[in-house]
Amino acid sequence: TFEGHTSSVLCIEFVAGGLQLLSTGSDGLIKLWNIKDGECVLTLDKHEGKIWTLAKQQSEEFMATGGTDSVIHIWKDTTQEEVDRMHQEEARTLEQQQALDNYLLVKDYRNAVSLALSLDQPHRLRTIFQDVMMAAENRHGAESDDMPRADDAILGNAAIDKVVGTLSPEQLDRLLGYVRSWNTNGRFARVAQATLYCVLTQYSSETILALPSAKELIAALQPYSERHFSRLDGLLTGSFIVDYTLHAMDAVGSLDADRTDMDE
């Protein structure tokens, strides 16, 4: 049973060696069905009335339909063109993926970030940011936090900060969409907040508010950011309590040692 037309079916034709079926109906629609599973894989809507006739070329490259709107439409089968286009897109995507891997291999972060954005790969982009930030922390781990560093960068690398600061409005809107998603997960909150800070320090409020998704982004980022800062504030307060307790224990230990000396 093939269900999809909203009115009576007027014409049918078997195509693709009997594996598919074309149908036209009083609803002005042309539908292509898979015989095996009864699934409608294509619907064409050009006629403005009932479609009384359907004829196909022997090679099935072209077909014609005519209806009560006094119009004959000639249709071309573009299946092979679509398959070729999909294969070309897959090949192009593979080439871009390889280029992205090559950029990361030589630490060309500027091109890597730009390409990850153009490929719409938020997971890959987040991984790049996290890896670079971690590498920067390990590199400077032995240095004092109070000493300024000439190569300080918000996202761990000056080239990444620079490319984030030179995005087109479309790319910026996409990046902030990624940040919104990362920010909802506590594990990725740090990279989300670092990326957000990098954006806010390099773009004016007018530029950000002019983005297509500005209102939605702000509405989604604010509550989670407040939650993360509240959590960090609680951890900081807890660290003060632990520090105070350790100092108090040291003081008690010193008093006990003094009393022991006096007793002796």
Helix axes 109-118, 122-139, angle to 10 degrees: 160
Side chain identity, residue 222: Q
Rounded to an integer, the average pLDDT of 9-33 is 92
Q: Model confidence over 120-167: pLDDT tens digits?
A: 999 999 999 999 999 888 876 655 555 444 457 899 899 999 999 999
- 40-44 β-sheet, strand order: 9-15, 20-25, 30-34, 40-44
**pLDDT reported for residue 139:** 78
Out of 115-129, 155-169, 189-203, 235-249, least confident range? 235-249
Q: Tell me, what DSSP letter sits at residue 9?
A: E
- Give residue 126's pLDDT: 94
What is the pTM for the complete model shown?
0.59
Identify the pLDDT of residue 255. Answer: 54
